Amino acid sequence: MDPHDKLTMRATRALAAAALAMLPGLAAAQSSVQVFGIIDAGILAQNKSPGGDSLTRVETSGLRQSVWGFKGSEDLGQGLKAFFNLESHFDTDTGALHPSGDTPGSGTILFRRQANVGLSGDWGSITIGRQYGPALLAHIGTEPRAMKEQFSNLYAWAYNQLESIAGPDAVNTNNDVGIFMKNAVQYRNTFGPVSLGVLYSFGEQGGDFSDNEIVALGASYTGAVVVSGSYEYMKDRQTGNKNVEHTGLGFALPYRSFTFKANWLRAENSGADGERTSKVDAWGVGADWKWSDSHNATLAYYDNKDKEHGSNQTRNVVLSNDYFISKRTTLYAQMAVVDADDGAVGAAALKTSIVADGSFEAGKTTTFVNLGINHTF
């Protein structure tokens, strides 16, 4: 090699090294993007349906929701990271996107569950965009069935916030059944055994900053016992009255191979005029039994009642077992017995339902059996 070329190469390397030394954050930056998902499907049989007939079908998402998406992060140096989440919800039985709980006319939403970006560090994290609310997340460890997609109070939670989406007058356009919030900013942090989340969803209405807003709080303590608490409210976009107020408390006690749980959720719905239309107390108690490395059984009891309409009440017993074939694949068997009062019919039934579609018969006892497979990637 020509001496001049060698000198030029050495100078180039020196300049490059100097530039990297002057930009340590840039040199250290690392990024990753991951494709992830859950595919869940099974067979669901019930001895009665709202029409009185027995029914057997292929059912999506018995254990967890079927989802797919992308998530990623970039190390910005000095403990700071940027991240994003894009998560879509689909039905395995049909392949269609799962309908959203947004206000009518919103259309099909591709990333119904999450579409957000944020920053995290030792100080916690800030997430901006469509995202999970902190109130629901706080109760995963204390809800008797960990808010599983079928046969848990996940649906009593969701349906009690459905009226604010498609009700006769009071509407909050940022709410997707109290689980996903649009136009939201959330701060999360962990302080020793305490995990805290605070979310604000901007109303984006002219004239009054608070019209159509959502405020949600969720906290949990994980130590020798687990304690959870939550509160959230949603305001009508026109009058600014609170059309949903939701409160929750939970407790879990691990003991050897068992975990005993108790959870209480209260949802109050009101119209645009502030008059209350429903007040549902949803109680759940239960126990998990890790009876082998590959099996976890759960026995749970739910008693859900609308105090504004006393005949709308369901009492439910659920027995299930999850068989973990591998870290990514689970076979599950679950049975629910639903005893519904006469007022648990139609849209009203959803407010006291632990069944995903509320397909039990009012005034009767309905038995459901669900066998399925859940695979993550």
- pLDDT at position 104 is 83
Is residue 137 within 8 A of residue 157, CB to CB? The reply is: no
Tokens (6 digits) for 147: 């808010």
Please, what is the Cα angle at 165 between 60 and 269, to 5 degrees? 105
Q: How far apart are CA 300 and CA 340, in angstroms?
A: 17
- Rounded average pLDDT over 24-38: 76
* The pLDDT of residue 16 is above 70: no
Q: What secondary structure does DSSP assign to 250-286, as a single string?
A: EEEEEETTEEEEEEEEEEEEE-TTS-EEEEEEEEEEE
Please name each of the domains of the chain with its CATH number.
33-376 (2.40.160.10)
- pLDDT at position 10 is 52
- Rounded average pLDDT over 245-269: 98
Is residue 104 within 8 A of residue 68, CB to CB? The reply is: no
- Rounded average pLDDT over 84-102: 95
Tokens (6 digits) for 329: 């694949």
In the numeric block, the tokens 């669900």 are attached to 370
Is residue 314 within 8 A of residue 304, CB to CB? The reply is: yes
pLDDT tier at 8, thresholds 50, 70, 90:
very low
What SS3 class is residue 216? strand
Most confident of 14-23, 168-177, 229-238, 267-276: 229-238
Report which of 322, 325, 334 is spatially closest to residue 371, judged by C-alpha positions: 334
pLDDT tier at 211, thresholds 50, 70, 90:
very high
Which amino acid is located at 204 in the chain?
E
Strand partners, 89: 67
- Rounded average pLDDT over 189-197: 98
Q: What percent of the chain has pLDDT over 70?
A: 91
Question: 5-14, 255-264, 299-308: which range is least confident on average?
Answer: 5-14
